[in-house]
Structure 1
């Protein structure tokens, strides 16, 4: 299939190119990057040696319409502007936030610009692979939203869903390529810092909407993100009070059953903790669970690669589904730890 990538100069766009270059069914026919049009791809992504002498193109809707599948990796608010100009039958995976939220009020509270509507939410392990496979346009989840939703989804019937507390650390690629003083090496190295402090991170309503699909009661999340001095990876810790008696053995069984058919999400053996280095460069998610008996709270740890399961890897997983392929096609690589 002829595939296009719009917004390929960013970190997620570069990871898309890396993964797609080895996909047995997808052939990259069009690669665009607005402000970097005309530049060599390897000038921005020097590790992508498969693309030697190839340049980023301008964003051209006539070329987009010649593709059979399109990945959009643009900043939030930009996808919606482009969608209205291209073939309505073109299969699209949007890595931005433009079509993730069902609630218009949540979009207006956490984002800027006009609400564009919503597409099916592309978290196959929670929404359902068969449901996504019926669609031609998919809203790829956010990185934090992926890690936190995967951690909580199996256990919604056993915890207080209005008492979710999540703290998650992410590598600097999660903030994009734009030049910011807070992201330069001298500021980031040897330092951890919270940001979007006080429940204002834009992935909060996305997580709540995702989990509301499963929960019997309203979902309320207090979420604090942390900037970690690493390029990529997310480690999320989520807690909530248990609302009924259950053993750790019972909890583990629930997680194992929930993810037994997943090619990517795994509950680790007792005593083994998720590590970002163990999922680096993959579409995998690692989970561990425990009960804090002192406070009667369930504690869950989840590690993903923010550019993998949190972005490009999951986008290809969704693309495989809407194109009728096995969802792990082109995504069976091991971590590079």
Structure 2
């Protein structure tokens, strides 16, 4: 089967290509982009020597036709128009935000413009989601922060362990902002400094977190989200807390999380006393997770680490596509990271 990648010169596109080079069932087809069209991929993705001489084409419906899978690694607001022009024959995977939100008002508040509607959500670990993805022809890949937060907290709501009032503080590497040149992302600005941004409930991933957790909780979940930028190229470390439900014990929390992730190939609940670090997941489609009950404040605390480009974007996309194609979910996806 052949897969096309629109946005092949960006970080998400490059990560998709890195993983697809090891996928035994998907052949890399057309590579497209906008401003880099006409150039060679090696000019933009020098870590992919096998594809260095491939020419980047313009992103047009004609170029993307004839593929079994089309990955759209495009900026927010660009995927919907392209997807609408692709026929029903291909599985289309949107790695941007255009099809994640089910609430039109939330889209207009946080993104603006026309709401393109919602597609099946590409986070297989959520309860009942694998069955939905198994028949999906359109898939919306979650944002990197929402991936981490949903994995960290959905068991708390699935098993009634927490109240629906969540606080999240998360650090991300600079690749989460994409390849566009921005002064605040220069090495001299980032090195040796951690900074907050999107503070006060304005970050665009907030409604997506509320949507995922609310679906599991069976009612609204409020999220206060503060993202921070850390001096690293990739990775997310998210600390997620919520008031514990009445009568919840530390043992009940541990048992619930063990049950939730016992058979999950990509989520590792760490031994008690061990805490996640972003380096545990670099380059792997995995999440490292720890949970505890802060008995002094009566809050459930879950800390999770993922690679924002792998499990947070490209790996999650391929994991969902594997399900849609009827392949084993782990096909072509690395469980081992890179160290140091």
Q: TM range, normalised to the smaller chain?
A: over 0.9
- Which residue number corresponds to residue 160 of structure 1? 163
Match of 2:288 among 286, 289, 294: 286
Give the Cα separation in 2 of the matches to 1:281 and 1:257.
26
Question: What SS is found at the alignment partner of 1:316?
Answer: helix
Matches within 5 A, 1:1-337: 1-126=1-126, 127-156=128-157, 157-161=160-164, 163-337=165-339
**Contact 2:166 2:242 (8 Å CA) reproduced:** yes
Instruction: List structure 1 segments (4+ residues) > 2 angstroms apart after TM superposition.
Output: none
Q: CA RMSD in A?
A: 1.0
User: Post-superposition shift, 1:57?
Assistant: 1.2
**Contact 2:41 2:51 (8 Å CA) reproduced:** yes
Using a 3 Å threshold, how does the CA distance of structure 1 residues 240 and 333 change in structure 2: closer, same or farther? closer
Give the Cα separation in 2 of the matches to 1:332 and 1:53.
25
**Contact 2:83 2:92 (8 Å CA) reproduced:** no
Deviations 1:152-173 (A, max 9, x none): 1001111111x20000000000
Normalising by the residue count of structure 2, what TM-score does the alignment of the two structures yield? 0.97
**Contact 2:286 2:335 (8 Å CA) reproduced:** no
- Name whichever of 77-86 and 189-198 sits farther off: 77-86
Kindly tell me the number of residue pairs found equivalent between the two proteins. 336
User: Post-superposition shift, 1:86?
Assistant: 1.6
Give the Cα separation in 2 of the matches to 1:283 and 1:201.
25
Give the Cα separation in 1 of the matches to 2:7 and 2:136.
23
User: Post-superposition shift, 1:81?
Assistant: 1.2
Question: What SS is found at the alignment partner of 2:217?
Answer: coil
Normalising by the residue count of structure 1, what TM-score does the alignment of the two structures yield? 0.98
User: Post-superposition shift, 1:253?
Assistant: 1.1
Give the Cα separation in 1 of the matches to 2:130 and 2:216.
15
Question: What SS is found at the alignment partner of 2:57?
Answer: coil
Question: What SS is found at the alignment partner of 1:287?
Answer: strand
Give the Cα separation in 2 of the matches to 1:209 and 1:333.
28
Give the Cα separation in 1 of the matches to 2:39 and 2:258.
47
User: Post-superposition shift, 1:6?
Assistant: 0.3
User: Post-superposition shift, 1:60?
Assistant: 2.7
Deviations 1:105-129 (A, max 9, x none): 0000000221000101111100521
Q: Give the gaps of 5 or more residues in structure 2.
A: none
Question: What SS is found at the alignment partner of 2:291?
Answer: strand
Give the Cα separation in 1 of the matches to 2:130 and 2:218.
22
Question: What SS is found at the alignment partner of 1:214?
Answer: helix
Give the Cα separation in 2 of the matches to 1:88 and 1:182.
41
User: Post-superposition shift, 1:142?
Assistant: 0.2
Question: What SS is found at the alignment partner of 2:216?
Answer: coil
Give the Cα separation in 1 of the matches to 2:76 and 2:113.
9
Q: Give the gaps of 5 or more residues in structure 1.
A: none
Give the Cα separation in 1 of the matches to 2:109 and 2:248.
37
Give the Cα separation in 1 of the matches to 2:189 and 2:288.
29
Give the Cα separation in 2 of the matches to 1:86 and 1:114.
19
**Contact 2:4 2:31 (8 Å CA) reproduced:** yes
Deviations 1:236-284 (A, max 9, x none): 0011111222222221111111112211012100111111101000110
